[in-house]
Copies of this chain bind each other. A is one copy, B any other.
Amino acid sequence: MRHMSTTKRSTVQLPLSGVRLAPRRTNPEDMTARARIRDAALFCFARDGFRTPLRAIAEEAGVSVPLITHHYGTKAALQQTCDDRVLERFLDMKIMAIREPDSVKSMLDDTSIPSILMVYMVRSFLDATVSVQAFFDRFVDQLRTTMQAAGAAGMIRPADDEEERLHLLAVQAIGALMVEFVINPPADPRSFIDQVYSGRNLAAQFDLYSHPLFNPSPAMDTYIASIKNRA
C-alpha cells in the first residue's frame, strides 16, 4: 500500500448467491443441551480455532465439560459433528455462482450465518489436521456444474484443459479466502463476508476475468514453449 494506490483496499472472491440456509434457529433456551453444545462448538471453532479448549465451549454452551464428552465422546468426535454440519450447509451456498448473478442481493439480508460457515471452512483448511480433500472435491464438483451451465449459456470461454482450469479456479478461490483471513482476521466470524466482499474487489475480479491479463509477446511464446517441455 505504498505507491500507485488511490484508496485503501480490501478484497475477496466471487460472490455467494442463492444462499439457502435452514430456517431461523429457535431460542437457545428451548434447545436441548446436546444441540446447544454443537452450536456453541461450531461458533467457538469459527471464532477461536480448533484449539479452543472444551472448557471454553462448555462455558459458551452453559454446561459442564463432562457433559460434552457424555454426549459426543471425544473432542474429535464433536468437531466431526460440526464438520459434517458445515460441509452440508456450506456447499449450498454456491460460491462463484455465475448463473443467477442477480441473486447476490438475496444474501445481503443476513450474512452472519453464512459468514460463520465460511470462516469455519477457512479454519478447516488452515488447520488441516483432518483431510479436507473430500470437501475440496465436492467444491470442485459444484463449481464444475456451475461452469458447465455458464459455458452452455455462452458466458464462459472454453478452456484448453477444462479440469485443470476448474482446479485452478477452485484453489485460487478458496486460497484467497484463506489469505484474506490470516491477513486480517475478523474479530467476529459473523462479519467476515461483509469485511471481505467489497465492490472494489468484485470489480477487480470482473476486470481481471473479462479481459486477457497477458498480451501476446515473443517472450511469452518462449515461456510457454519451455513449459510444454516440463512434467
Contact = CB atoms under 8 A, between A and B. Distances in A.
A211 to B, nearest CB: 5
Contact of A168 (B11, B98, B136, B183): B11
Number of copies: 2
A204 B217 CA distance: 18
A132 B207 contact: no
A128 interface: yes
A161 interface: yes
Contacts of A223: 101-102, 104, 206
A199 interface: yes
A171 interface: yes
Q: How large is the interface on A (under 10, 10 to 19, 20 to 34, 35 or more residues)?
A: 35 or more
A23 interface: no
Nearest to A194: B231
Interface stretch (A77-85, A86-94, A109-117, A174-182): A174-182
Nearest to A197: B230
Interface in A123-177: 125-126, 128, 132-133, 136-137, 140-141, 144, 153-157, 159-165, 167-172, 174-177
A6 B165 CA distance: 13
Contact of A215 (B154, B168, B202, B217): B154
B179 A215 contact: no
Does more than half of chain A's interface fall in helix, strand or loop, or is it mixed? helix
B4 A162 contact: yes
B212 A133 contact: no
24 contacts: A1-B163, A6-B163, A102-B219, A104-B227, A105-B226, A126-B178, A128-B182, A132-B182, A133-B183, A153-B217, A153-B219, A155-B220, A156-B213, A157-B215, A165-B207, A167-B204, A175-B175, A198-B230, A199-B228, A199-B231, A202-B227, A203-B227, A209-B212, A210-B216
